[in-house]
With several copies, the nearest count.
Chain A
Amino acid sequence: MRAFLYSCQIAFKNLVVERWINLLTILSISVGLLLFTSYLTITLNIDTVIKRWGTGFGMVVYLGDGLSMETEESIKELLKQDSDILELKYVSSDEALKELREVLGSRSSILDSMEANPLPSSFELKLKRETLTPIYIEKKAARIKEMTGVEDVQYGEKWLSSLNTISVVMRVIAVLLGAAIFIAIAFITYSTIKVLFYRRKDEIETLKLLGATRSFIKMPFLIEGLFIGGVSGVISALSLFGLYKFTVMKFVEFLPSIRGLLVSLPLEAYIAIPIAGALMSLTGSFFATGRIRY
């Protein structure tokens, strides 16, 4: 315990003595963490946007002409049982005609000359976001089309596959970039602590000769690493929040329509940043101090 307190004392003295290197390290790690968390925020936002778009897309199931109420009901029941379908809206042929009138606007007079309503009734489906792979939806559409009473199934095939591509690209990039940034941060931590260790190599040699144990020698570096990582984490969490607020402010000024659309990382993530920083730094320190040989 006394040894631990003494280690803390040494660690903080060293932090002050080597303040420039430590400051640089803290800044580097902060920037690294900030980059990573900014990226996460951006991904989160793009994902949210895609989700919003994604749920806007659905499927329209056109029913055959003159179906009995029972058949329509049974189709509805079948569709309702499908857990991939989030929302189900029945659009009667009359409603469809009204919609078409609205679309045609001033030119809707062409419809007046028609004897009967040529538009079919339909079900408009909204699908669960997770199921939006093009192949899956294609299959589902084909299956629904085979149901008796269903005449046609339409869905935004092209759109779907584009959105899907964006989403996949985002995820792949997230993993690649995330890994790269993590590696970079790990390197910075490791190399800095290694370097701090090297710089005190003579001192450590002397301590070893005086009978210091391994933990006595390593402890200050571990504490230092923990501190550097933690402080970096706090700095980057604060910067991230500031940056987020600033960005939102600027964007809203520029494009008022965006208000309320930009989302922030959840509070848990903000709390996790310093902890992750400290743990990464600690791991870095641990490997940097290495195995001490007498």
Chain B
Amino acid sequence: MIQFSNVSKFYDEQIVLKDISFNIEKGDLVYLTGPSGSGKTTLLKLVYRAEHPDDGQILVAGWDVAKLRQKTIPFLRRNVGIVFQDFRLLPNKTVFDNIAIALRIQGLDPRLINEKVNDALNDVGLKHKSHALSQHLSGGEQQRVVIGRAMVSKPTVLLADEPTGNLDVETADIVIKLFKEINARGTTVLIATHNRELFMTSGRRVIFLRDSAIEKDIIP
């Protein structure tokens, strides 16, 4: 589902990812970890073509990402749900609208959108904040809105970048359980995180990045 073959990425002269290869099968749930600045976010960005690889090939859900035409990129992204590390919420819009926008850009029926968004709000426990502006939310609440938005369109691939950084342990548990449910329904999930508690005892595959390369790739 997500296949990297000898991918390298530079920012200016600095190398950020060096000759990365791995293959995540459809239906997998994989953790990605590594110290601050090791390239986790960059790796995720390559998956949804927010960055272009300097070398190598990336296949995502059958798309050859590096060769995608500009016009096709939106359609790749509609198949990829993303929990951004920096949230990227629309500050002046309500929680409801922030989640709904992921469906509106696809031109879905308003009633269907309403239904799906309410489900997502329930999932992340923000039903009561539905009409609050996203800029008036607490850090943890914002993070859950992002998670809701990433899930609501039932994407083929779900990427989550530090999804529990602003969450207390109980809420983090709920979120991880959500990811597992989504994964069980067939979505491929890739979670970048520093939170060792999440993956140490999970019994799932963990990819360790260090110094621009894959240090370890533990497949249980």
| A, B in one complex | yes
A209 engages B48 (CB within 8 Å): yes
Look across to chain B and name the residue whose beta carbon is closest to the beta carbon of A4: B107
Contacts of A213 in B (CB 8 A): 71, 74, 105
Q: Say which residue of A2, A202, A211 sits within 8 Å of B77 (CB atoms).
A: A211
Q: How far is the CB of B203 from chain A (nearest CB, A)?
A: 32
A6 engages B104 (CB within 8 Å): yes
Q: For chain A, what secondary structure do more than half of its interface residues adopt (helix, strand, loop), or is it mixed?
A: helix
Contacts of A294 in B (CB 8 A): 49, 70, 73-74
Look across to chain A and name the residue whose beta carbon is closest to the beta carbon of B49: A294
Is the C-beta of A17 less than 8 angstroms from some C-beta in chain B? yes
Q: Say which residue of A3, A6, A207, A209 sits within 8 Å of B50 (CB atoms).
A: A209
B88 engages A205 (CB within 8 Å): yes
Is the C-beta of B5 less than 8 angstroms from some C-beta in chain A? no
**A209-B48, A294-B49 known; A203-B105 Cβ under 8 A:** no
A2 engages B107 (CB within 8 Å): yes
B105 engages A211 (CB within 8 Å): yes
Is the C-beta of A258 less than 8 angstroms from some C-beta in chain B? no
Contacts of A212 in B (CB 8 A): 74, 105
Q: Say which residue of A3, A206, A208, A209 sits within 8 Å of B107 (CB atoms).
A: A3
Q: How far is the CB of A206 from chain B (nearest CB, A)?
A: 5
Is the C-beta of B43 less than 8 angstroms from some C-beta in chain A? no
Look across to chain B and name the residue whose beta carbon is closest to the beta carbon of A17: B92
Interface residues of B (CB under 8 A from A): 48-50, 70-71, 73-78, 80, 82, 84, 88-90, 92, 101-102, 104-107, 109-110, 149
Q: List 30 A-B contacts (CB under 8 A).
A: A2-B107, A2-B109, A2-B110, A6-B104, A6-B107, A205-B88, A206-B89, A206-B90, A207-B101, A208-B77, A209-B50, A209-B77, A209-B82, A209-B84, A209-B88, A210-B78, A210-B101, A210-B102, A211-B78, A211-B80, A211-B105, A212-B74, A213-B71, A213-B74, A213-B105, A214-B71, A214-B74, A216-B105, A293-B70, A294-B49
